[in-house]
Every structure is written in C-alpha cells, then in structure tokens.
Copies of this chain bind each other. A is one copy, B any other.
C-alpha cells in the first residue's frame, strides 16, 4: 500500500478509459498499455476493447494497485473512495479544479486527502501530468508520445507537469532518456519529501532534478535533501508571478534563497533554466566528486576554448598551471605550434588528441577536465584513450561535442557509457564544469 505502488505497481487501472482518440482516458491508455503487468480500462459505458484490453465496469473488478483517474474534478472524490474500497494503494489524479482553482476545489481536495488517509492511498496530484518510469514500463500519463521515452539516469521531479514534460522530451531528443519523471501538481499527500527518498534508493537514478514552485512542507524537504546521497539540482521558479503561481499548483510564496541554502548546504546546485536543470543533473549524476575546483581545458579549436575559459573564469573557476612533466609531454605532442598553457589548444583535431587529454587529465594540479572537439570522420573521438583514463583515474572529464551530429552520435554514446558526460555547445560544456566546481563549495 501507499507510495511503493506508485513506483512498483503490479496492475494498473485506468479509470475513465476511453476508446475515443483525443480523449484523456484514451491518451492515458495509449501510454499505460506498455506496462508488462495487467492493465484494466475501467468504464461502465465502455464496450469491447481499447488497445487490446477489455473494458471492466469498476475498479472493484480489478487486481490493480495503481489507478489513473481520468475523470473530471467533481467525480474524483468518489473515484478515490472506490479505489480505497477496492484496495488500490496509489492513484494519479490528472484533473485540475482543486486547491489551485476556488473554494469548491479546495473542499474537493480536502475530501480526497481524507479518503486517501483513511485507506492509505498515495495520491500523485491532483492537477498533474502523472509519472513515467521507462525502465519499469510504467507510463502513467496522458501526454501523447510518452510511451516512446527511453531509459536514462536522471530523474525529474516537477511541481509543474509542463516542466516535467518538456524536460522529458528534451532529454529524449538529446539522446539521454530519463530514469523517471514525476509531476507533483497540487501534492495532496505526495510531495518532494515523499518522492526523493525513493529515488535516492533507485539504482537507475544517478541524479535528481527538481522543479519547485513552492511547498508548505519545506522542513521535511530540507530533511530529505540532507539525507540523500544522490546529487540533487533544483530549478526554483515563480519568484515573481505569485498570483499566477498560486493559481497553478496552489504553491505558497517562498523565497528562492531558502531553497538555495538547502541545496548548496548539501552538495546540490541551483539551476536557472530547464536546460541547466538537465545539464547539471547529468554532469553530477555521471561524474566522480572532484578533489578541487581546478579546471584543465583541452580544446581542438581555440575559439570555443577561449569562450569556455571566459565563461568559467566569470564563475570563479580556477585554471591551474600545468606541471613541468605535463608541459614536456605536451611539447612532444604539439611541437609548440599552438597554445599549451591551460587551456591547451591543439589548433585542429589530430590523431594525438587523446594523448593530449591524457596528459592534462593525469596532471595532479587538475581536478576537472573539460574537453572541446569538433568531430572529424577520419579521426573520430578518442574513445580508447578515454576508456583508459576512466579506468585509471577517479576524476571528472566533461566532453563537449560539435560537428555532424549523426556521425558523432556512436562515439558520444560510447563516452557516456564510460561515465563521461557529453554536452553539445561550448557554454553547455563550460556550465557543466562550473557545476562540478560549485558542487564542492
């Protein structure tokens, strides 16, 4: 019973399921159908099948422990009561029209809360886009296309379903997938402090990205962030548009600074945009904790190298001198033609580029390695050298890619598999390195 049924259901009921395309209850079925266990479309008016599953009249006729409620707000309290009587342990409520709307809505949300307490039901929402866990084939959302999202290593917990959804599609588009997306909505009884500990224990989740508008349970939030071993990144929004924010997820007005303090006191970082939320989560999820803030930059093109160095210097990163031994190795490799201080610039991709990275990565003065290289077909990326480095060292290496994207994709994937996070614009690679610096401050 309770929250574990959200994460590990054995059967899923879709209440208000529909055979009519475009309806919420049909969109929810289109995603839920991917589940490996039994799926029950519940609708007394339903006839025949939807996505190969036969309609049933009532949730009481199912063995579901997770219910997706695809009914309007006024019908929801009754549905939750039905779920309780049928022994369902968790429910996702998509409808809006609760505490975020008006007095009637507040009353309705309180009814749900009481019923859920009585039967020990974990309710995700109301007013949520739901949740998905691709590696468990759990797709509990009405968002079209979610059934094709692949597995990744970052989990997103979003107060706004919209931010959860856009984050999910961005991770998918960029080839990273997601370990889970959880839209919290109005948080009737499932809040950040309920979800974070479960994700902290989830072996598929290497980092947790949060989108926060505000929660009344901020002390509990602080406690679970303190407790978590998994890196956490937070994007706090709604710092200005207070009445809009309240109308959205019934969030209380809260200071950015309070969240910043909680995160940064516990090795987490704050992100300012969706892209930063995803990039910071990915780099912290993939990388070992650096020993210090000293960044060594290796670039195959000077211009982007200069830009990354500018970016990092503005954010207070340190660029250490390289040791004499490193300089000797670099002199042999580069023959003095290009800039071999830090940043080290090879001028163009070259067969020795992997050895140049190796020299800088093995330098004891360097804690974090940031690489930039435009892909050339005839050379590829130096995956073999990186494999050796990943084996020998416990030091973060961030690789910034550019070039013909289809051609570089296989090497990019191989680097990711080695534990080397990849980013596709100079500022994104530099941002990722700055996150590693910030995470140890």
A residues apposed to B, CB below 8 Å: 21-22, 27, 96-97, 101, 143-145, 148, 158-166, 169-170, 173, 211, 213, 235, 237-241, 243-245, 247-249, 272-275, 299-307, 309-311, 313-314, 337-339, 341, 343, 345, 347, 372, 374, 376-379, 402-405, 407, 424-428
Contacts and interface: CB of A to CB of B under 8 A. Distances in A.
B21 A374 contact: no
The 7 closest A-B pairs by CB, nearest first: A160-B303, A162-B301, A145-B404, A273-B427, A162-B303, A22-B378, A248-B302
A248 B306 contact: yes
A344 to B, nearest CB: 10
Find the residue from A169, A302, A337 having the highest chain B CB count within 10 A: A302
A374 B166 contact: yes
Number of copies: 2
Contacts of A21: 378
Given A145-B407, A248-B306, A275-B425, A166 B402 contact: yes
Given A170-B425, A310-B239, A377-B144, A304 B244 contact: no
B145 A403 contact: yes
20 contacts: A22-B378, A97-B337, A101-B337, A143-B376, A145-B377, A160-B302, A162-B302, A165-B301, A166-B301, A166-B374, A166-B426, A169-B403, A170-B424, A213-B306, A237-B310, A240-B309, A240-B313, A241-B309, A244-B302, A247-B339
Contact of A244 (B161, B300, B309, B337): B309
Contact of A163 (B145, B211, B303, B338): B303
Nearest to A236: B310
Nearest to A373: B162
A303 B160 CA distance: 5
A21 to B, nearest CB: 6
A221 B136 CA distance: 59
A245 B173 contact: no
Contact of A426 (B245, B273, B309): B273
Find the residue from A160, A169, A303 having the highest chain B CB count within 10 A: A303
Nearest to A379: B22
Contacts of A374: 143, 162, 165-166, 169
Given A237-B310, A301-B161, A314-B240, A404 B148 contact: yes
Contacts of A245: 306
A309 B160 CA distance: 15
